[in-house]
Structure 1
Amino acid sequence: MHKSRQENMEWLRANLRTIEPGQGVEVGLFRPEDGEGVALLYYAIYGENFPLDYVYDPDRVRAANAAKDLYQYVGRTPGGEVVGLSALFPAAPNPAILETGGLMILPSYRGGMLAMRLGKATPGTLPEELGLAAVFGQSVCDHVLSQKLTRHFGYRPFGLELEAMPERPEDSTDGVGGRISLLDELRLLGDCPHTVHLPPPYADHLRATYAANGLQRHFADGATPQTPTEGTRSAMDHAALAKLHVTAPGTDIDDALAAFEAAHPGRHAWHLHLPLAHPATPHAVEAARARGYFYGGLLPLWTGTDVLLMQKLATAPDFSLPRLLSEEAQALFSAIRSDYDKVVGGTESAA
């Protein structure tokens, strides 16, 4: 049986240590003896606010790496202390997409080349060896360091999840404060041309996104749904975030959304994934917009075919907080803000 989150927190609080700065750092694949150091690094940077429990549990970190559910790259000192981290791990229903993320550098080891070395190691040759269609990444938007790295390695922005993560600890020197938005980026390694049904409010932006990224799609009209909605739910309780992954939008999509929100009350954010390959998705978008959901972006090949991301927030977002580096990311942000204004109408709450 795994230790509870609280048990791991008690161990981390008791074992948090100061690592002498200025030491040489080796970058390599995770080794079992790195488990405690990885958990301590998460605690040193995020305190107790990271939404996934397993990162605070050395045994679960070791197990995930051993099972090939996780490919972590570690920056370690000569004494084996972990001062940097990056990783590849499953994130999408499509097994041919792995996420690169978890890039973290201990504050006393920033300013050098460690972030670049870790960023280069993670997408290196492994994605091609694994036969991946794409590598997915999420850059925090309370600073631009990770966006600089992803842009350097050929990632392109496709979605922006507003205020999806809790704010950093009060004593953190990172970021600009407030809840953290996430920029969804992909480095595409291949394509799978297929038919998509573009919702009219987002058709222009989606067509432009496809063209800018060289993705071949056939555009077809939508159709009225004939069957009940099918999908699954997931939640990240510590982030106050819930997601509805729709595989077939149906005649009861409004009821499905109401049931989803009722099952996950008190959230800051609700995310909706809709299959663009399904002809009923334009109908579902109309229903979602009527309930306060607004544009989030495109997730190419997310399920093997493309997915539309929509999002809803309990309170009006602080649009002054996201820090976005590229013109493409800024254009995406403008499209999202414009749709929010149309859907929510500038009110203080979308709940």
Structure 2
Amino acid sequence: MEQLIQELRELLMEAGVDRAVAGAVRSEAPLLRQGVDSLDYPAFSLAVESRYGLSIDERDSLSLRTLDDFAAYIRERVRGESPIGRIRRDWKTVNPGRDYEVGPLRPGDGRGVAQLFYSVYGDRYPVEDYYVPERIEQLNAEGALLTVVARLDDGSVAGQGAFYQSSPPNKALFEFGQVMVAPEYRETRMAARIIREMDRLSHTMTQAQGFFGEAVCTHTVTQKLVDKWGYSECGLEVALMPAGAYEKEGAGARRVSCLLGARVDRDRSMPLHLPECCRPALELILEGFRLERAIRWSPADQPLAARTSLERRSFDFAQVERAQALAVGADFPDIAALLDREAVQRGLAVLQVYVNAGEPGAAFAVEALRERGFFLGGLIPIWFGPDAILMQKLYVEPEFEAINLHSDRARAILGHIRADHARACATL
């Protein structure tokens, strides 16, 4: 439902609603009472009809007052039974020992990809789109998702990987991930072949400036495979996902951490404002990249703006919120306090804040976050266009001993992050 509500917010903007208004709309409240005027409303309804292939009659339109109303209407008429129920009904056995080919997704492969997500994650993957075959194929057609599949000679999908637009505000930075192989083929070279084909395709993606990935730390298999394709470790998201999301994969930790890695293919010269307090860790991360940066270290620089520009997204199942400071303002300490207070009230496990380091104010923001118990997560190139500093706060106890890392470089980054976490705990 969360993903569908986000899609509806995007359609509000397509219909002419101001971005700030659309982002602030509460899903349970009437749209006409939240800045969506009588001209925007019919344009929004037409956009919904176009996106989901609906024809909303006049009687139905009278009952569609909130985003929740629209979401329920779409689910009932377009998606019918639940996506998981449909996967179970259409289940196709993946037979071992068959020949297979690896290549881009074709029409009809969406069903097998959705089944693969369910076989690996159960019903706990946080983005519902990947359980809906038509949505998988639509996203590929739109270029927001590039899926590579391992297709058996009987048409079944036994493995996949993908490049996709996800959290970065810079939509030319694609996430690399979702590499999954059915249990029947995990003793083969299928995963390696998928990643090799993804690497080949990545060099043809002229729309991409770079790529990043989040490799789970319950094992080092994915870390080993991507290490050879030019990615460099740049951070660690501690306790990011509940172990339940990986229970079929044998995860034993209370929560699973993820190693961040990135590859920049099309760089440009730009300023980089960094906090002096994190210098050893950030210098280590920067050593892994060849970036054209005019680096300015500061203990606490001053932001250019009075007000912070912030985007927020919650991942309810994971108990995670990701806040993006597109621009840091003088009010950032108040913003940090609000985020922290609301995280406690909502029972979050993790709060992440990505700080735009392309303008003065990054060190100011980092210092404000450190005072509230945040610790360093990493430095991700071109996240905003400019680079991002990731700061994170945990409201659960981390299990650092459960983090498995492949490279010495990754272990060195963990050492810095773990030390900063200890410092954060000591300040509270």
Match of 2:278 in 1: 202
Residues 183 and 77 (structure 1 numbering): CA distance in 2 closer, same or farther, change over 3 Å?
same
Is this contact kept in 2: 1:243–1:272, CA < 8 A?
yes
1:274 to 349, 355, 363: 355
Q: Say what the alpha-carbon RMSD is for the aligned residues.
A: 2.1
Shift of 1:14: 3.6
Shift of 1:345: 2.3
Shift of 1:336: 0.6
Q: Which shows bigger deviation, 188-197 or 68-77?
A: 188-197
**Structure 2 counterpart of 1:48, which letter?**
D
Match of 1:285 in 2: 366
Q: Where in structure 2 are there 5+ consecutive unaligned residues?
A: 1-73
TM-score, L = length of structure 1:
0.92
Is this contact kept in 2: 1:192–1:301, CA < 8 A?
no
2:127 to 29, 52, 55: 52
2:151 to 76, 80, 86: 76
* Matched residue SS, 1:279: coil
Deviations 1:38-88 (A, max 9, x none): 111000011111111111111211211111111101111111111100111
Asked which structure has the greater CA Rg, the reply is 2
2:309 to 230, 244, 257: 230
* Matched residue SS, 1:239: coil
Match of 2:109 in 1: 34
* Matched residue SS, 2:94: coil
Residues 131 and 62 (structure 1 numbering): CA distance in 2 closer, same or farther, change over 3 Å?
closer
Asked if 1:310 corresponds to 2:388, the answer is: no
Q: Which shows bigger deviation, 58-67 or 202-211?
A: 202-211
Deviations 1:85-106 (A, max 9, x none): 0111113222322111110001
Shift of 1:131: 4.8
Percent identity between the aligned chains? 31
Matches within 5 A, 1:108-257: 108-168=184-244, 172-220=248-296, 221=298, 222-225=300-303, 227-257=306-336
Q: Which shows bigger deviation, 147-156 or 256-265?
A: 256-265
Is this contact kept in 2: 1:29–1:71, CA < 8 A?
yes
Q: How many residues are treated as equivalent by the alignment?
A: 347
Shift of 1:257: 2.1
**Structure with greater helix percent:** 2
Asked if 1:67 corresponds to 2:142, the answer is: yes
Q: Where in structure 1 are there 5+ consecutive unaligned residues?
A: none
Asked if 1:105 corresponds to 2:105, the answer is: no
TM-score, L = length of structure 2:
0.76
**Structure 1 counterpart of 2:134, which letter?**
D
* Matched residue SS, 1:122: helix
Is this contact kept in 1: 2:243–2:251, CA < 8 A?
no
Is this contact kept in 1: 2:125–2:245, CA < 8 A?
no
Deviations 1:304-345 (A, max 9, x none): 111100111111201111111011111111111000000112
Q: 2: CA distance between counterparts of 1:132 and 1:313? A: 32
Residues 65 and 291 (structure 1 numbering): CA distance in 2 closer, same or farther, change over 3 Å?
same
Match of 2:161 in 1: 86
Shift of 1:260: 2.9
* Matched residue SS, 2:352: strand
Match of 2:405 in 1: 324
Superposition misfits of 4+ residues, deviation over 6 angstroms: none
Q: 2: CA distance between counterparts of 1:64 and 1:240? A: 26
Deviations 1:211-248 (A, max 9, x none): 34222322224532351221111122221111110022
